[in-house]
Structure 1
Amino acid sequence: MFFSFLKKRLLVSLSLLLVSTFSFAESKVDAQSVASISKKMQQISLQVTSIKESKVEGLYEVLTNSGIYYVSKNAQYLIYGSIYDIDNNMKNITESSLASLRQNKLKAFSNDMITYKAANEKHVITVFTDTSCAYCQKLHSEIADYNKLGITVRYLAFPRAGLNSSEYNIMTSIWCASDPKSAMDKAMKRQSLDPKQCANTIKEQYELGLFFGVRGTPAIVLEDGSLKPGYLPATKLLQQLEGK
């Protein structure tokens, strides 16, 4: 596993606090640094999408297939975590970067989602789910409550045990069923499904979740692109959606 690899290499995983003494750099990343960082990230099975100066002097913000990481300019040290701006009401700089990316990337999966639409739709959430997850089952059992409050629920698959797991096969059977919603309802009740195979995007959905920072299920993406880990009852979720 990637994170056990990080531990073995004694790489630092933490959240940074931005203090006023840190400078804000905007210069372009030189080609040598890009090549060096990309090579190092490949060694730990991360594919680099982009590299730019971070808000902290001496650190690059590196966008990968598994989210955002921060890397020292000599490409020796890697930090996995969030940067906060103390002077800006503890704004999560990392989350702000990811939120806009999530909004854009979800658009490509709009036709791959299993959707429970609210009749009086006011809000739309996207939930990364795993039918073997107890809190995913609880959330699903309350779908009617979310819908009554005007919350449309869209599902993407995130088999927690990975792409070679029995849960991956169940998710595939759901998405390949002639009636995916009915199959989802059965699977969430731990009822058996007829095995199905078809062209599907379960792998891509799972990888999207990793990129978004999903580490467990359920994981809820709100309309603004923010990620809320874990189960939230309908009333509390509505409060968050409406900023109350």
Structure 2
Amino acid sequence: MKLKHYIVAMSAAVMLVGTGLTIAQTPQETAVKKLVEPRLADGIKVDSVTKTPYAGLYEVRVGSEVLYTDEKAQYLFIGNVIDAKNGVNYTKARTDDLSRVKFSDLPLESALKMVKGDGKRVIAVFEDPNCGYCKRLRKTLAGMDNITVYTFMYNILSEDSAVKSKNIWCSADRNKAWEDWMLNGKAAAPAQSNCVTPNDKILALGQKLRVNGTPAIFFADGSRVPGALDAKGLEEKFASLHNVKVN
């Protein structure tokens, strides 16, 4: 695949979103940005260029994606920078940081809420009602305790996803309707036409947060994990957050 085509595909996948922040750059970083931006695909805008402490590389940030170049922008490096001594993946650490959210800013009133046990362990999950991996995750969550799950019904997989979400949202017991569908394949009764849902709001939110697939799990520290974790993976993640300050 040609480099320009790769960058187009990459940027389309992450859905570029401005952060509203202005980051001061050194003259050299500004110069590298001016050199590298015209060499990317047409219309691709570089959010920032930052000199890294390794190998003389400059980080080129496009949305939440990261690539690298040299000081003359003659070469572009797409992939992970890993410390050969300790195995630390600097690129993953950086992209994880860029993809963090402020959990308290999520519109939780627009989500389904399930509480089990003391509910102290909190996650928010973006799920499509037609997503097989979401159903697998739902089975995992059903077997866990002491957890609060906020579910944003994120309709991106098929035309009737929004219909199914509306029927569930407009049910007398939303959580039961969601569980019945995701765990047992029992569809909710058709909603009345005047029932208002947050479907459009959640779709816009997911796009803003660059949620490109379901499920997507957000933890209380703002970190995210794309895909369906199993029970062991979730427990390990919760354990790692035990002493982390929630933002």
AA aligned opposite 2:217 = I
Provide, for residues 181-204 of structure 1, a one-character-per-residue CA deviation record: whole Å limited to 9, x for no partner: 456446533726547666513133
Larger radius of gyration: 2
Alignment of 1:114-125 (within 5 A): 114-125=112-123
Gaps of 5+ in 2: 10-24, 243-247
Q: How does 1:73-222 map to 2 (within 5 A)?
A: 73=70, 74-75=72-73, 77-87=75-85, 89-111=86-108, 112-146=110-144, 148=145, 150-156=146-152, 159=155, 161=157, 165-166=158-159, 169-170=162-163, 173=166, 177=170, 181=175, 184-185=178-179, 188=182, 189=185, 191=187, 194=191, 200-210=201-211, 216-222=213-219
Give me the whole-angstrom Cα distance separating, in 2, the residues matched to 1:59 and 1:171.
Answer: 48
Are the aligned partners of 2:60 and 2:69 in contact in 1 as well (CA < 8 Å)?
A: no
**Structure 2 vs 1, CA of residues 170 and 54 (structure 1 numbering), >3 Å: closer, same or farther?**
farther
Distance 1:240 1:47, change over 3 A: same
Query: Is the contact made by 1:219 and 1:230 (CA closer than 8 Å) also made in structure 2?
Result: yes
When normalised by structure 2's length, the TM-score is 0.63
SS of the equivalent of 1:166 reads: coil
TM-score for the superposition, normalised by structure 1? 0.64
Shift of 1:134: 1.2
Q: Secondary structure at the match of 1:242?
A: helix
* Unaligned 5+ runs, structure 1: 10-25
The 1:4–1:133 alpha-carbon spacing in structure 2 relative to 1, beyond 3 Å, is farther
Distance of aligned partners of 1:62 and 1:219 in 2 relative to their CA distance in 1, 3 Å threshold: same
Q: Name the residue aligned to 2:14.
A: none
Question: In the aligned structure 2, how far is the partner of 1:168 from the partner of 1:29?
Answer: 49
Cα separation, 2, equivalents of 1:64 and 1:159: 26
Q: Tell me the secondary structure at the aligned position of residue 148 of structure 2.
A: strand
Deviation (angstroms), 1:144: 3.2
CA RMSD of aligned residues (A): 4.1
- Partner SS state of residue 55, structure 2: coil
Q: Distance in 1 between matches of 2:115 and 2:197?
A: 26
1:85 Cα deviation after fit: 1.9
The sequence identity of aligned pairs, in percent, is 23
- 1:176 to 1:131, Cα distance in 2 relative to 1, 3 A: closer
What letter matches 1:6 in structure 2? Y
The CA deviation at 1:72 is: 1.6
